[in-house]
A and B are shown apart, each in its own frame.
Chain A
């Protein structure tokens, strides 16, 4: 008798797909929100005014020093206490992911900005662009382009980190698979599937980006 029962995958497809949909939602929201928030934080951190740069630096320092699991947990339990009503697991997880990722994207973007030639901001300034215009129109587009590999890396990390939402009773792809694994006693089949899917998505993603980069300028 075949010791493996791969049919378990087909039978639980809907359940797994729902998990994947949640993972995808978390990745997309965390990445978009994180990049926007991170760009804002990076702009604040670069400010010569300490009352702007110091709080941003403090925020980034704190967020990068605590595990994501704790941020998720705090948000779920403490924010309802603070505002007096429950906010729901999904909302709290999305907000927590964005706030957490923003701190990392801030540092990634700062490093990217530091890599753009200094003359570029001088040239932008010389045509009369204001500092925030120069940042938005000239510096950030170049910084983001140089950051593509690091950003991709961060997206993969987020994708893998989405499994942490189990602490607030949400089921991402990984959690869904492990629920089936223990319900049906099929851990090998389910975890093999998880590994293959994670690998396929991350590999295809990085391959596609590499191709795109080759087609790009420089």
Chain B
């Protein structure tokens, strides 16, 4: 489903990705963890071409992301993305946020798009917030709208870039529950930075440090017996509380 081969990227002289390779199967749920600055966000943004990369290859459902001939907007329409800071459109209601790309990218009629948006917003528990603007919603509610916005495109896979980092602790659970339900529905998911989700839901964990994928193993192995010293240190810091 998603294939990374030896992906390199630098900002000027600073390397941020140094030869990352992995393969994510359809329906698999993978959490990318590692200390801040390890390249997790950059890696996940390379997958839908929001960040260009210098070397290596990335395939999403057979489409080569780095290929100049690839229609990136068309590719991005097939991959949902959820951002740390939600990035809902502040001048639109929740419903309009979810409908926008359906209308302008998928070419659905407004009524049809709105029906689908409503269905998705109900599914993420926001039936009573259809007409609310982002500023009237809590962080957790905004993030659920943004998940619905991504799902509205009927994506083949979903990318979550630190989906709970900007949330107050009591709101983390409501977002994780929505993500967990998605995972149970068989959605292919790649999530950065969410250790709770890694422990409970992930199939596999990637551990990154300094732009390299140091561990790429199933969840049980990663938490029970990390191979590298850096992963052990990271775990002991994160899991202490």
Contacts and interface: CB of A to CB of B under 8 A. Distances in A.
Interface of A: 117, 119-120, 122-130, 133, 137-138, 141-142, 145, 217-218
Given A141-B91, A145-B91, A217-B91, A129 B104 contact: yes
Interface string B95-139: 000001100110000000000000000000000000001010000
Given A125-B50, A127-B100, A120 B87 contact: yes
B224 interface: no
Contacts of B50: 122, 125-126
Contact of A142 (B77, B90, B133): B90
A48 to B, nearest CB: 12
Contacts of A141: 91
A128 B73 CA distance: 4
Given A128-B101, A138-B89, A218 B73 contact: no
B147 interface: no
B55 interface: no
B83 A122 contact: yes
B94 to A, nearest CB: 13
B76 A125 contact: yes
Contacts of B79: 126
24 contacts: A119-B85, A120-B87, A122-B83, A122-B87, A123-B81, A123-B83, A123-B88, A123-B89, A126-B48, A126-B50, A126-B79, A126-B80, A127-B81, A127-B100, A127-B105, A127-B150, A128-B74, A128-B76, A129-B101, A133-B105, A137-B100, A138-B89, A141-B91, A142-B89
A130 B104 CA distance: 9
| Interface residues of A, dominant DSSP | helix
B189 interface: no
A130 B101 CA distance: 10
A217 B200 CA distance: 38
Nearest to B102: A127
B29 interface: no
Given A119-B83, A119-B85, A126 B76 contact: yes
Given A128-B153, A217-B135, A120 B74 contact: no
Nearest to A216: B91
Contacts of A125: 50, 73, 76
B104 A137 contact: yes
A120 B89 contact: yes
B149 interface: yes
Q: Which 6 pairs, one residue from A and one from B, show the smallest C-beta to C-beta distance?
A: A128-B77, A123-B87, A127-B101, A126-B81, A128-B105, A119-B87
A142 B87 CA distance: 13
Contacts of B73: 125, 128-130
A142 B135 CA distance: 14
Nearest to A130: B73
A76 B214 CA distance: 71
B141 to A, nearest CB: 16
B129 to A, nearest CB: 15
B48 A217 contact: no
B100 A117 contact: no
